[in-house]
Chains A and B, each alone.
Chain A
């Protein structure tokens, strides 16, 4: 699942969501960033940021 994230304090980033059921996704869902494997090509792993729901705590804002 892909989403547009708006950060508390400003800034926007589009990325994949992870560790959630697609039916959980809604505008305003609080998420946090997590460093994950994006893809593997020719045996080389590429890591970058994904977002996952904040379970309990809350820092980042918003997803579409």
Chain B
């Protein structure tokens, strides 16, 4: 099975990202216009210069009209894509392929979601009619299964496990406090996190990502044209997307301590990018911390920690902003917020910001002082045992 990748053929030349959070005064149109406007300003182009658009939104509109109407597009191709919580990454991936194929010169990937004012406090996803026998579990309930399964497998006691999960939330809030676009912009004491009201299983309210409104956008062109628009383009090194067979809920061999989909997409992305030791080569990673145990498991699935040891690495601060490999330096889904269709592009926005050395107070030192030029995004859709996974690697250095 070939996965040839498009390493160094496409570059990001402009990005935009709205603040995330409860934006009661803004519609999805307002959010998309703001992110698209910021992206074209960033690239120094006009909307008319963009040949094709990919819009990612899970539930804030259907069809390309959701974008062409607010942007007043001049009869341009607009494709709306959906791939659960990996929707924004899917929009980006398709825009990159359009440019790499030569079909268009410049494309925009934009994602947006309006979750507030929907009448639900969490996510409401409509399913096709069924026989009514499927267990109706919430997202926190489904992801909560990871915590006891991991603790049981690796001999972590319940109090230690709570400390590990608490530290992940504490770290992401701490990072988010430094980010003017984040939904939750303050540090939260570990005792507050640890004692927060329980939502599902061991997960308290602070173990869950922020339900948020927001939008983010990227403009991509052929790598050889990138210098026309910016002196610091970000090059696409790898794009990997997999949909799993979704057998976990039926198959007793699946043990709820890993996402096989992530393992497979990470291996594919590292092969495309020529990365052999991600922990030593990446400057940072933005990962899908929808719930704190998800981030824990991802550290092992992405190859940042040995199996069974991520919990110790978390406690040791390996993934802190000043740690060996900073994870979610922008605050992650936890603190930046999770407007579904926007999240994958928001992750890329932080890579763009950090690799261009524009992150201010939260600038990662391995970029400015350590010579690291690569960043990773990981975006997950679905639940443990049945999910889709996206991994990208981007970098500030062009093809060697």
Residues of B within 8 A of A46 (CB): 132
Residues of B within 8 A of A64 (CB): 145, 148-149, 256
Residues of A within 8 A of B256 (CB): 4, 64
CB of A15 within 8 Å of the partner chain: yes
CB 8 Å contact bits of B212-235 with A (1 = contact, 0 = none): 000000000000000000000000
A26 to B148, CA, bound (A): 8
CB 8 Å contact bits of A1-30 with B (1 = contact, 0 = none): 010101100111111100000000011000
Where the two chains meet, the residues of A that have a C-beta atom closer than 8 Å to any C-beta of B are: 2, 4, 6-7, 10-16, 26-27, 38, 46, 48-49, 64
A27 B148 Cβ-Cβ under 8 A: yes
**What DSSP secondary structure best describes chain B's contact surface?**
loop
CB distance from B358 to the nearest CB of A (A): 43
A49 to B133, CA, bound (A): 8
A1 to B148, CA, bound (A): 14
A48 B132 Cβ-Cβ under 8 A: yes
A4 to B141, CA, bound (A): 11
CB 8 Å contact bits of B121-151 with A (1 = contact, 0 = none): 0000000000011010100010001001100
**The one of A10, A14, A38 that contacts B249, using a Cβ cutoff of 8 Å:** A14
Residues of B within 8 A of A12 (CB): 249-252, 254
Residue of B nearest to A6 (CB): B252
Residues of A within 8 A of B137 (CB): 2, 14
Where the two chains meet, the residues of B that have a C-beta atom closer than 8 Å to any C-beta of A are: 132-133, 135, 137, 141, 145, 148-149, 152, 249-252, 254, 256
B249 A48 Cβ-Cβ under 8 A: no
Residue of A nearest to B152 (CB): A27
A6 to B141, CA, bound (A): 18
**The one of A6, A11, A14 that contacts B135, using a Cβ cutoff of 8 Å:** A14
B135 A16 Cβ-Cβ under 8 A: yes
CB distance from B386 to the nearest CB of A (A): 11
Residue of A nearest to B141 (CB): A2
CB distance from B298 to the nearest CB of A (A): 19
Residue of B nearest to A28 (CB): B152
A4 B132 Cβ-Cβ under 8 A: no
A10 B252 Cβ-Cβ under 8 A: yes
Residues of A within 8 A of B141 (CB): 2
A46 to B256, CA, bound (A): 29
Known: A4-B256, A27-B152, A64-B148. A15 touches B250 (CB 8 A): no
Residues of A within 8 A of B148 (CB): 26-27, 64
Residues of A within 8 A of B251 (CB): 12
Residues of B within 8 A of A26 (CB): 148
A48 B252 Cβ-Cβ under 8 A: no
B132 A15 Cβ-Cβ under 8 A: no
Residue of B nearest to A46 (CB): B132
A46 to B132, CA, bound (A): 8
Residues of B within 8 A of A27 (CB): 148-149, 152
**The one of B135, B145, B252 that contacts A15, using a Cβ cutoff of 8 Å:** B135
**The one of A2, A11, A48 that contacts B133, using a Cβ cutoff of 8 Å:** A48
Mind listing 28 A-B residue pairs with CB under 8 Å? Answer: A2-B135, A2-B137, A4-B145, A4-B256, A6-B252, A7-B252, A10-B252, A11-B250, A11-B252, A12-B249, A12-B251, A12-B252, A12-B254, A13-B250, A14-B135, A14-B137, A15-B135, A27-B148, A27-B152, A38-B132, A38-B133, A46-B132, A48-B132, A48-B133, A49-B133, A64-B145, A64-B148, A64-B149
Closest 7 CB pairs of A and B: A6-B252, A48-B133, A27-B152, A14-B135, A12-B252, A15-B135, A46-B132
A13 to B137, CA, bound (A): 13
